[in-house]
Amino acid sequence: MSSVSENLKIVKDGLPEGVTLVAVSKTKPAEMIMEAYESGQSIFGENKARELADKYEELPKDIDWHMIGHLQRNKVKYIAPFVSLIHGVDSMRLLRAINKEGAKNDRVIPCLLQIHIASEESKFGLDAGELTEMLKSDDFKSFDHVKIQGLMGMATFTDDESKVASEFGTLKKLFDETKQQYFTADSDFSILSMGMSGDYKIALAEGSNMVRIGSSIFGARNYQ
Ligand SMILES: *Cc1c(COP(=O)(O)O)cnc(C)c1O
C-alpha cells in the first residue's frame, strides 16, 4: 500500500522546477497532513473555511494554508487572520469582504482571481469581460488590504485531453495579457494556479506554475 509520503514524493519528482505544489488535504485528517508535513510539504489547500480554520488551530503554525474552494463572504472572517492565499476570488463583493477582513486584521491578504474556463455551468469564476471590468474599477484600486497575485481556473471534467488543454491554454493567454496590461511592474502578480490530480500534467504543459493536488497524494475522498 502506498503511503502519503511515497505519493508525495512521486508527485513532487514529476514537477518541474518553479512549480508550487499545493497539497489538497480537504476532508483528510490531521495525521495524514502531518505525514506530508514531516516529509517536507508546507503548503496545504482546503475548500471549506471552517475546516481550514480548525486545521490551522490544530496543526503546526508554519504551514501555509491556501483556501482553494468557493468562499462565502460571511466565512472570510474565519480565515482572514492567517490564510496565505485565497484562490477562488470570483466577484467584487467577495474581494470587498476580504479587503475589509484584511483591514480588521491589519494585513494584506494575497488572492487569485478565479476565471471560468470550463464549459460546465457549475464551475465558478469570472469571464474575461468581468475581469477587465473589475481591474479597471476605482473600487478595486482602492482596496489596500488585498493583493492580487495571479489567476486560477478549473478545466472541464472530461477525458477529452485536447479540450482540457485548450481551456488551460485560454487561461494562460489571459494571464499573460492581464499581466501585460495591468500588472507589468508588479512582480507579485506571478501565479497561475491550474491543474489537479487528473489534469495537472496537461496544465503544466500549458504553463501552470501552481498545481492543487489532493487525491494523488492523500487517496480518494469519500465525499466532495
Ligand atoms: C478538491 C480540489 C482540488 C484537488 O482535487 P484532486 O482531484 O483530489 O487532486 C483542486 N482544486 C480545487 C479547487 C478543489 O476543490
Q: Mean of the pLDDT values across residues 99-118? A: 97
Number of domain units in the chain: 1
Q: Let me know if residue 87 belongs to a domain.
A: yes
Q: Let me know if residue 29 belongs to a domain.
A: yes
pLDDT in tens, 120-153: 877 789 999 999 999 999 999 999 999 999 999 9
- In this predicted structure, the answer to whether residue 23 has a pLDDT above a threshold of 50 is yes
Ligand 1 pocket mutation, candidates 47, 114, 157, criterion most atoms within 8 A of CB? 47
26 lines ligand 1 (CB under 6 A): yes
24 CA: nearest ligand 1 atom = 4
Q: Let me know if residue 223 belongs to a domain.
A: no
Concatenated DSSP letters for the chain?
A: ---HHHHHHHHHHTSPTTPEEEEE-TT--HHHHHHHHHTT--EEEES-HHHHHHHHHHS-TTPEEEE-S---GGGHHHHTTT-SEEEEE--HHHHHHHHHHHHHTTS-EEEEEEEE-SS-TTS--B-HHHHHHHHH-HHHHT--SEEEEEEEEE--SSS-HHHHHHHHHHHHHHHHHHHHHH-TT-TT--EEEE--TTTHHHHHHTT-SEEEE-HHHH---S--
Q: Let me know if residue 168 belongs to a domain.
A: yes
**pLDDT computed for residue 124 by the predictor:** 86
Q: What is the pTM of this model?
A: 0.96
Q: Domain of 210?
A: 4-218
**pLDDT computed for residue 1 by the predictor:** 46
Residue 22 is part of a domain; what is its CATH number? 3.20.20.10
Q: Let me know if residue 141 belongs to a domain.
A: yes
In this structure, the strands spanning 43-46 and 64-67 are parallel
Q: Let me know if residue 9 belongs to a domain.
A: yes
- In this predicted structure, the answer to whether residue 107 has a pLDDT above a threshold of 90 is yes
Sole residue written with cell 508554519: 62
Centroid of ligand 1 to alpha carbon of 212 (angstroms) = 6
C-alpha distances in angstroms, 135 versus 89, 98, 129? 13, 16, 10
Q: Let me know if residue 224 belongs to a domain.
A: no
pLDDT in tens, 157-184: 999 999 999 999 999 999 999 999 999 9
Q: Let me know if residue 36 belongs to a domain.
A: yes
- In this predicted structure, the answer to whether residue 2 has a pLDDT above a threshold of 70 is no
